Amino acid sequence: MQYFVEISLLANWWANLVIIGMLAAALVMLVVLGIFAFYFRLWIQSIWTGAGITIFDLLGMSFRNVNAKMIVRSKIMAVQAGLGDSSGITTKALEAHNLAGGNVPQVIKAMIAANKAKTIQLTFREATAIDLAGRDVLEAVQTSVYPKVIDCPPRNAKRTSLDAMAKNGIQLKVKARVTVRANLQRLIGGATEETIIGRVGEGIVSAIGSAETHSNVLENPDLISKAVLSRRLDSNTAFEIVSIDIADIDVGENIGARLQADQAEADTQVARARAEGRRAMAVAEERENLAEIENARSAVVDAESEVPKAISEAFRNGGLSIMDYYSLRNVQADTDMRKSIALSSGSVGSSSK
């Protein structure tokens, strides 16, 4: 009896094991069917278009966290445009570019545009390098096919024109338009539009500054364009300058005359300052002379104060008698009278005149 019980228990255990296995297999099949259903449409599209992406490639993209839908559509777009694995556009290359942070659809569109143009030599490696460098590769290809017009100065700049002065001192205000074509071979490491704008602005200012008169520039605006183009301003840039067109020229201020007027005013102020300095020196010298005169007068007063002392000393020593003193006083009185008569006659003569 016990034997039959053990057999029944073993049979039940195997039955449960089979049921669990069947459930696991069913679950696996459901997962496989779900994955197959999820990628079935992409796989069918890849087969019908000849993109060459298998179901296992799609599963690998899921494990590598790659957007399979974007890769498939990009590969289909390239194949339909005649760009296959021979052009370097392989499924692995597209996955690698996506994992590196690149914009795969933008690169494929740029490759298709370059291939349709037939005049642009652009490889997939160059396109991906341009994209990873942060440049818009599709815009670069479009600019290479259809030249781009750049305003100089830009429309959003603080200054609305390029101001320069001719040799005769007249200011000219210039607006220019630069037509450029992208140079794909120099797009990586080449200077951007800001460099083109800066160089063209510098060339225009230099060309106007070398003109003898502003009339020459107004009569022949193409002189500016020729002078600027001859300087090869597009060297080491991502663009090739096609043409430089002078859109507008306006006459500004007469800066030369204003500078001359400012210089004359400055010279006048300098002359006034020098004259004021000389006048101050003359006044100081006059005051010094007056001080010396006062000193001389004080010396005379001091000397005159010694005369009575000398006379009294002469009286005491017997060197001067009373008669000699009276004679000296008479001579002094006579001298004073003659001086007063001379002064009065001089004043009368000047009044009569």
Question: Is pLDDT larger for residue 124 or for residue 46?
Answer: 124
What percent of the chain shows pLDDT beyond 90?
A: 1
Per-residue pLDDT reduced to its tens digit, 272-283: 888 888 888 888
Residue 158: per-residue pLDDT: 84
Look at residue 242 in the predicted model and tell me its pLDDT. 85
Range name among 123-127, 278-282, 340-344, 348-352 with the lowest pLDDT average: 348-352
pLDDT reading at 28 higher than 70: no
Predicted local distance difference test score (pLDDT) of residue 10: 57
> What are the angstrom distances between the C-alpha of 83 and each of 54, 104, 119, 274?
19, 14, 16, 85
**Res. 132: pLDDT tops 80:** yes
User: Would the CA dihedral through 54, 124, 76, 69 be positive or negative?
Assistant: positive
221: preceding bond cis by omega (within 30 degrees): no
* Whole-number pLDDT of residue 33: 58
Fold of 148-254: Tetrahydropterin Synthase; Chain A (3.30.479)
Q: Confidence class of residue 141 from pLDDT cuts 50, 70 and 90?
A: confident
Tokens 């020593």 locate to 317
- Identify the band that residue 38 occupies on the pLDDT scale cut at 50, 70 and 90: low
Question: What does the pLDDT look like over 46-105, one tens digit per residue?
Answer: 777 777 788 778 778 877 888 888 888 888 888 888 887 778 888 888 888 988 888 999
Least confidently predicted of 29-33, 97-101, 253-257? 29-33
Task: Tell me the residue ranges of DSSP E strands in the chain.
Answer: 148-152, 162-165, 170-182, 239-254
Query: How much is the pLDDT for 212?
Result: 83
Q: In whole numbers, what is the pLDDT of the chain averaged over residues?
A: 80
Q: What is the pLDDT of residue 139?
A: 86
Look at residue 1 in the predicted model and tell me its pLDDT: 52
Q: Report pLDDT for 343.
A: 72
More confident residue, 173 or 191: 173
What does the alpha-carbon distance between residue 145 and residue 92 come to, in Å, rounded to a whole number? 29
